Structure 1
Amino acid sequence: MFYGCTGLTGPLSLSSALKSVGAHAFEGCTGLTALTISRTDTALGSGSFSGCTGIASLTLPVDVNSVCDDGNPAFSGCTGITQVSFTGTAGVDYLDHPSAQNKNYKNTPWYISSVSGRSISMSFAHTVDHIGDNAFRDCASLSGNIVIPGSITSIGSYAFAGCKNISALTIERVLSIGDGGFTGCSGIQALSIPADLNTAGGSSPSFSGCTGITSVTLTGYVRGCDYSEDNYITTPWYYSKSNAISLTVADGVISIGTRTFRDCTGLSGTVSLPNSVSSIGQEAFCGCTGMTGVSGPQVLTAGTAAFSECSSMLSASLPSMTKVGESVFDGCAKLSSATFGNCTEIGKYAFRNSGIKQINSSDNTVSLTGVRVVGEGAFAGSAVTDVVLGSSGASLTMGDKVFQGCTSLLSLKVYGTIAELPSATFMAAGSHSATKLKKLIIPTVTRFTMDMSSGFSDLEEVDISGATTLGQAGQFKNCVSLAKVTLISGSTRSLTLPASMFEGCRSLETINLDRANLLLQNGREFYGCSSLNNVVLGISEYISPSAFEGCASLTSFSAPAAATVGNRAFAGSGLTSITSGTMPLAASFGTYVFDGCASLQSAAFSDRTVSLGAYAFSGCASLESFSAAGLTGIPEGSFSGCSVLSSVTAGSAVSVGALAFSGCTALVSLTLESAESIGTEVSVPVSASDASKYAVFGGCINLGSVTMPALKLVGDFAFYGCSVLTSVNASGAYALSSAEYIGSYAFAETGAKTVTVGTSGGIESVGNYAFYGCTSLTAFSSPSLKSLPANLFNSSASSDPCKVPMLQSISVPAAVSFLADLHGCTALTSVVMTSAETFATARSTDARPWSRPRCPRRRPSLRTSSTDAGLWHLSAPRLQPP
């Protein structure tokens, strides 16, 4: 009709009454500048607008097939189109198939114009609800911002595929996009789509090849789309993940769906979520390594691993969140601070391997005072330094390995009521070797059984005051920095300490033990705690073996309820004094109990103390005085090495063991009113070299006086070497009238001058060398002795000099056997042996009879009868010949 009408110019508008345009109707009308088709079912004939090169603006319903039914393009040669506006409703589905000429997308006017290289813009009326398949496919000149209005609910397959010059795409409300809907739109930089739009497509992802996206906006009053493990890689931003992408979430979006941005490494900056967002799906931002922060004022929940492996994230502000889910921040290596609501639950591995140092605080403290549940490995491998969990009166449960491998953790304070801290709370690779924990405060724990003996060398303070059950032996052994421990709160509970609990804790200074129990079968609870200085053991009836051994700084101690004190309980401690109030109920003390207490100056015990173990005070080099009125015996080595001991009061002591006062060089006098035995009765032959084994007063070089009126047994070597001992039960004399046994070397090399042994009918024999070497001895008498051994005073060896050169008189009227060697006794003037039957030869080493008495320089009186007194006369009818 208007074929070739080049004079037909300007815009052309076809009314809504027009149903069809005939073939070639406007072909060649090059003057037309714009074309509007109003009717949605208008049929376009073959080549109806062919060659209309002047048409720049085209408006037509999307329902109109712009190709024509016979396959000859209606707009063939219309190469000038730069703007297309669509009206109508449902778009035509075009085909990508050469045999389907009537709907081949390559025959659309915009495709034809696009081939010419012109830049085309496009718009859609709000009546349009569908864009058909292949509608704009490969329109490379389609450019600028394409807005898909809210009326459009679906976009067909490959509708915009290959439109590589679209720079911005806004989809207001689309429910579905067909396969490859925007495939290859590599020029899209800014993308705005509804949050619930599933971009996965079917067999071909909707946005595959969209590699230029740098800005994403999620819109709509909707919940975010959830992606599966298989299809999250189909999101448009995933294809652009290497770009630096900024994300905007519009107000109204309710949630961020599962895996929405997973592995979008280019997502950068802080993601700010509006108040409308209340939840974040599982793995929503997992692996977003460029993301530096997240804020969401009304976010309540975050799914498993929501921000896992966001390795550049520095902070998280989610002030309404009260539960941090499993692995939410797992692997966020730079995440140092986070703000939540009053968190009640921290999920498993929530902050594992993260850089978290600060939660809900203004300093480097993880403050979770409202937490009720902390899952397994929640902070494992993280950078936490100071952690506070729970509050008083609120229950708390903790999973295993919560702080596994936290090499920067310095302080853990757990105030929630917790049954037990799991044994592997701090463990890594089977040990605590990397732990730097300094402070462990758990005042409400009821069972504390964790082994702290390895890997806690930096631990300085512990509070387990609520614990009623403790772990195995050596629980805190060798925690060398531990300085303060708080045990047992309240006045009604008690706690039994395991053996070696604090052994080797050399820095321990303060510990409250007023409600602690020690057991005799345990021991070494504080062994080697060299800094411990003050202990009040309030209720314990026992002080276990070596409990405080090596506590070199322990100067103040009391145990008002202790009845029994074990071996070495205070050996090597720093005690300076013991009073009757120190352990007022203590009845017995074990061996070596105060051994090596070098600073101990005085020891006074109550009347209840009846038993003291061997070597109780050995090596107490500063001990000056000792008193124990109720003590029944002074056992072996009790005061050996107490070099300044000068006062001993033990009025009830019945026995004194070997070496009891060995080395007490300052001891001048000793009174033991009840003592019946001194030293040991040795059952085998002894020699002088055995003195170091048995000498009760060995080395007591200043001992001058001993008062023991009840003394019956004087053991071998008892007073051996007491060179200035001149008084025993009498001034200047040895009054041994009650003696029933005097062992070998008992008084050898003492300062004895005048000695009286036994009473009539009493002791009959004394040990060999009993008074050997008493160089000051002048008189020896015994009304009861029946035999005098060969070496009683002297050595019977012919080459040995006289050992009793001042001996003047001997009176042994009951002696039957007089074998004592008296060679060299030049001062001897009187010998009384009225019952003697057997004598030794003058220098005999055996007991051969004395046939010819040897005359000393001064003629002695050998009195064998009452006659001829004063004459050197031998009248001995009972003497046997040699």
Structure 2
Amino acid sequence: DPGKSAYEIWLDNGFTGTEQDFLNWLKNQSNNADSLGLSFALTDEDTYSVSVGLATERSVIVIPATYNNKPVTKIANKAFNECKNLKKVTIPDSVTSIGEDAFRNCSSLTSVTIGKGVTSIGNSAFYNCTSLTSVIIPDSVTSIGEGAFYNCTSFTNVTIPDSVTSIGNNAFSYCTSLTSITIGNSVTSIGDRTFAGCTSLTSVTIGTGVTSIGDRTFYECTLLTSVTIGNGVTSIGNSAFYNCTSLNAVYITDITAWCNIKFNDYASNPLLYAHNLYLNGELITNLVITDSVTSIGNYAFYGCSSLTSITIPDSVTSIGGSAFSVCTSLNAVYITDISAWCNIKFNVNTSNPLLYAHNLYLNGELVTNLVIPDSVTSIGNYAFYGCSSLTSVTIPDSVTSIGNGAFYNCPVEYTSASAFAFGYINKNNLKTAIITSGDSIGNSAFYNCSSLTSITIPDSVTSIGGSAFDGCSSLTSITIPNSVTSIGGSAFDGCSSLTSITIPNSVTSIDNSAFQNCTSLTSATIPDSVTSIDNSAFQNCTSLTSATIGNNVTSIGDSAFFGCCKLVEVINKSSLNITKDSRNNGFVGYYALNVKTDGQSDIVNKNDYLFYTYNNINYLLGYTGNDTNLSLPDNYNGKDYQIYFCAFYGCTSLTRITIPDSVTSIGSSAFSNCTSLTSITIGKGVTSIGENAFYGCSSLTSVTIPDSVTSIGENAFYVCSSLTSVTIGNGVTSIGNSAFRGCNNIQTVFYKGGKEQWDKIGYAGGINVNKLYFYSEAAPTNSGKYWHYADDGVTPVIWQQ
């Protein structure tokens, strides 16, 4: 830096002292300088080192073996740092160490001869020597420091001799012209990012002495096609082979050693990109794990798509996470002992090769009818995960626990078990379960068994755990034995096909969300033994019409019955003050028409239609049948009726509905979210359409509102996105906010009155007035948009002007 004094530069190079100290040092250097301009300093060992501070402008340097009759043994730190003109250096055999940054940023250096006495090459010794094409590392070198050859972009090849025991972090990083490396057998560790960014590197051979490969060692060596890994390697660091996208072969000599390698993540394993594993030069397709293997590590065969089958011996007791992930060609797993297989510890589902293979062979025979032997007491996590060859399973009484996901995605229709500790089985195809003994059903035991239709619970069971049947959406009924005293939180949450359940007198408490989202449940009777109903216990049971609260219930938690919009009848036998329209006591009376203290339910099921009469008014509460095209009853006991709040809410299979003239009103949310409903006929007796009545009926294409209707509630047809045509009778006097909002495909709105009458309505409920046509029986004489009926008296026709 021309702006700095020599003294300041001296300080910048790491020296300390006064300016006089600097002058004394400079004098000493001058006294110890040779004719080449090299500076020497006496070491503690009574030898000389090529010193720092006296830069040379020469392009060729030959370091002498002796100076003042004493050997030159070291090249000091930063000795030739930033010598931009230096092109060639010869280091004699007398030198034992090359210091840190010794030749750093010597950007013109093309050739270095390292003497046979050098044992260590210091950190960043040749850092950024971008013109250096090659270097011969002699057999004397035992360590190569961090960043020693970092960014030597002209380097083409390097051989690391057997004498080297350690290679530092970043030692050869970004040597972008380096095409091949051979790492000697004495190297025990390769540091982090040692060869990162060597984008021309095509092959690597790692010697048998190497035990560890650091993080990102070969990071983004994008042309690397093959790697040979010695059988001494025990660990490979994070992302060691990340983005080595040209890899197509990994060569090993010992499968036991390979299984024991600790791969820190999926990109530690070169198979992520190579896919092909070679054992002693032969491509492995049918992998046979040797009896000496007791565990297979994490990511061991991650991405090894050349594998078609694997034989796992009885000696294996654990298989690590993602050990067989993305082994997409696997189609067979061979074993010799079911008991040993059941006891393997699979860390996660991707530990099990059956995830991809699907077919399990026992002593050469495909297993379809699995019989667990009596010697087995537990079946481990993920033991048969994805084993689609199974059609049936027999589990003996000796089994006391079944692990997470043990039979997940196995097409088994029937399972018999004694201990039913079916923790997280997640068998989508499990249809029937018979439990023969035991005193509890564990948490999440049948969680998300979406095909389960039947479960038999023995009298020995005293508790049903949290989420035990959560998500069993095909379960239609269940009998809880009198031995059960507690039902855990979310035990039956989301059992959307469950229409009835009997809670025995033995139960004392119903926990949080126990029956939440049981949307087909029509009635609930809480026995006298129950003292508390916890928060959200029956929340969103949208088909629940009647609830009986037992004598001894003293508390009902928050939102216990929230969203039970059809709950018209509450029989309150408890001392709780339950009243209509009240949000207290978990909303149990909030939706009710009638709260009474005794008697039986007055709800009547007539031909699959649920009716309720209160104060001489008849209400249609819902439908329990399976028809999708419905014509509602002409009357109920000879009288008119109303369609109650949420009566057909969420009936997604309903396609057509005909409402007779005997219906007087359509309640709020009556047909909300009937997403398959394409056609509705509204009878001439209907006077009001409630809020959200047809909210979200996204398949509805047209609607005719008869003259009898006087009001259309807020959001009545909100987001009926397929609606193209609307006819509104002349009896309508009010249209609620957003009644037709989100109906963006409406092309025509036929109003049976005139403009003056329309203007009195005041608010169009989201109707685009540019689509509006007024009724005119005769051809209009004034300008405007008008319509009339065709000869059939039904079809609207626009008058052409």
TM-score (norm 2): 0.39
Larger radius of gyration: 1
